Chain A
Amino acid sequence: MKNVGLLFIAAAVFVLIGAPVIFASEGSVGPEVISYFKWIAIATGIGMGIATFGTGIGQGNGVRGACDGIARNPEASGKIITALMIGLAMIESLAIYALVIELILLYANPFLKYVVG
């Protein structure tokens, strides 16, 4: 099974290096923009993945505390659920910060004018 891993890595390297040659035949977008955006695509994917990783752990801990609280005291479940919702929204906003950076990189990139032309 080690050969499959090496094969996959070789294919990925081939695609990454050969992509400008393959895509440069399109007339509309220049090769330097494509090669700039391939790095943007990798950064966006990995960055959002790391942000979601931490958010998942944090929100899971929050839900665990809320479930413990409701299990011990079912009468207080209204207040516990309110506090849980607020806590989840606050932790979610950390992933939203990363999402906003990705959206800026993809759609309103400030460095694009230095790459084009």
Chain B
Amino acid sequence: MEHPVLLLDFITHPLAHFMEKYFNLTDGNHLYHMTYMWFYMLLLVGISLIVVRKLKMVPGRSQNFLEVVIGGLKDFTVNTMGEDGLRFFPLIATLAIFILVANLGDIIPGFYSPTANINTNASMAIVVFLLTHIIGIKVHGIRYVKQFTGPIWWMAPIMIPIEIIGHLARPLSLTVRLFGNIFGEDLVLVIILVLAPFLIPMPVLALMIFTALIQTLVFTLLAMMYISGAMEEGH
């Protein structure tokens, strides 16, 4: 996999030299995932700080846009998780907005998406996985184990390994789904650009926008369903 030509190379190349000289880290090729993740984080925090500085009762344009986004996410969360799902609204909204911005940024030439690296996706999936179990133990106490044993008590020795494997497959599937979709779209774009250059890959770009939106929706919805599934009372 070659190193693409990116916009933030003026930060990444000196940083890679610095890490190689002083810390003996020779993996400078993968540093642009971190650079672009910090770029999107600073972009989102910067936009929020600029808009929050002047809140008005009758909102202006940028405040109106952010209110639509946050209000829509809040309605979506309440529809899926119920009223006490608002506890997790900061995490769900952060995941949704960050994944959406990162996925859409992949389409712009010269930008790169941190979600095309498996480490970013794995860290988000592990956060959701740990949160489901911690919330389950917090709400149910020791009776959380009853969710693993199934409906009939003497089928427990069969049900517990199956449930454990099913639970372990959740962060793996979240990671690989997002990584495969975004990295695969990247690869398809590169290959089609090699085959048919200039304006012919436009439908591939449209498909990339569609995939970015759908994958955000699926990741966020699955995270909400896992958390609410751990919180609910038994079957």
A positions within 8 Å CB-CB of B: 85-86, 88-90, 92-93, 96-97, 99-100, 103, 107
Q: Is the CB of B214 within 8 A of A97?
A: no
CA distance A10 to B191 in the complex (A): 32
Main secondary structure of the interface of B (DSSP, over half): helix
Q: Is the CB of A86 within 8 A of B217?
A: yes
Q: Is the CB of B217 within 8 A of A93?
A: no
Q: Is the CB of B180 within 8 A of A97?
A: yes
Instruction: Please name the residue on chain A nearest to B215 by beta carbon.
Output: A89
Q: Is the CB of B218 within 8 A of A90?
A: yes
What are some 17 contacts across the A-B interface (CB < 8 A)? A85-B214, A88-B214, A89-B214, A89-B215, A89-B218, A90-B218, A92-B181, A93-B173, A93-B180, A93-B181, A96-B180, A96-B181, A99-B180, A99-B184, A103-B184, A103-B187, A107-B1
Q: Is the CB of B1 within 8 A of A93?
A: no
Instruction: Please name the residue on chain A nearest to B218 by beta carbon.
Output: A89
**Residues on the B chain within 8 Å of A100, using CB:** 176, 179-180
What 7 A-B pairs have minimum CB-CB distances, sorted nearest first? A96-B180, A93-B177, A89-B218, A100-B180, A89-B214, A99-B180, A100-B176
Asked whether B221 is an interface residue with its Cβ less than 8 Å from the other chain, the reply is yes
**Residues on the A chain within 8 Å of B176, using CB:** 93, 96-97, 100
Instruction: Please name the residue on chain A nearest to B184 by beta carbon.
Output: A99
- Chain B positions 159-199 with a Cβ under 8 Å from a chain A Cβ: 173, 176-177, 179-181, 183-184, 187
